Amino acid sequence: MGIIEKMKLDGKKGFVTGAARGIGKSTATAFAEAGADVAIVDLDFEEAKKTAAELAEKTGRKVIAIKTDCTDPEQVDAMVIQVVSELGGLNFCHNNAGICINAPAEEMTYAQWSKVININLNGIFLTDIAAGKYMLEHGGGSIINTASMSAHIVNVPQPQCAYNASKAGVIQLTKSLAIEWAKRGVRVNSISPGYIGTELTLNSPTLIPLIEKWNEMAPLGRMGKPEELEAICVYLAGDTSSFTTGADFIIDGAFTCF
């Protein structure tokens, strides 16, 4: 069997959070194209249903939509139960839901800080644990968390201390779970994207001046594309990455190299 065949995800089942659009939609597409059945998990259920229908039509795989608030433990547990029930199991997941609030630290409210930490870090913890419990009891699996290059650097010119702190926490959580579960068949890794040009990002009036600055600073002179994160996620979801756990993959066009 050649490497292309080994990379396929035929027969595997998984879910992606924050998958109605953007990075999550892109990686969910890649998983389905690689042969997996996938659940599109998002708080925006209408958009999630559209994405699920689109991917099912495009790939011929079973793709379902599930409305979930990833900061609610009961909803997260129920989501995993539904994934297992409707797809027939759970072999991998990409925990990707997140937000960013740009505000100077001295002006940021505690409510703003808490919202970012709750979604970006607590939400990852809840989805990791819910998926991990199932995988530990059913032969293992692969968990992929979305961190950020912001876990490694302090972004400028925008002030985003809560986001940076939350994403640094995601990496340390990833490493901690990887160590705890290494001998029990569950692998946990993270990806740290740089600036990614999603549809919402590129069309946001408040971000356009920042994008111009980011592109000036970027070694490649541009933002990344969501599809440029797909290959690493397919690799991590599948069996060819069986020796890869506790790792963080920076995909940032060398932005963090200086």
Query: Could you list the active site residues?
Result: 148, 163, 167
For tokens 């990791």, name the residue: 128
Number of other CB atoms surrounding residue 139 within 10 Å: 10
Using the structure block, give the residue that is written with the tokens 């997996």. Answer: 36
Task: State the alpha helices, DSSP H only, in 34-184.
Answer: 45-59, 73-87, 110-117, 123-137, 161-181
β-sheet bridge partners, residue 82 = none
| Lookup: tokens for 185 | 């068949």
Greatest Cα pair distance in the chain: 57
Is the distance from CB of 27 to CB of 9 less than 8 angstroms? no
| Dihedral, 1, 8, 170, 195 alpha carbons, nearest 10 | 110
Tokens of 192: 């740290």
Q: Give the H/E segment covering residue 144.
A: strand 141-146
Token duo for residue 29: 């597409």
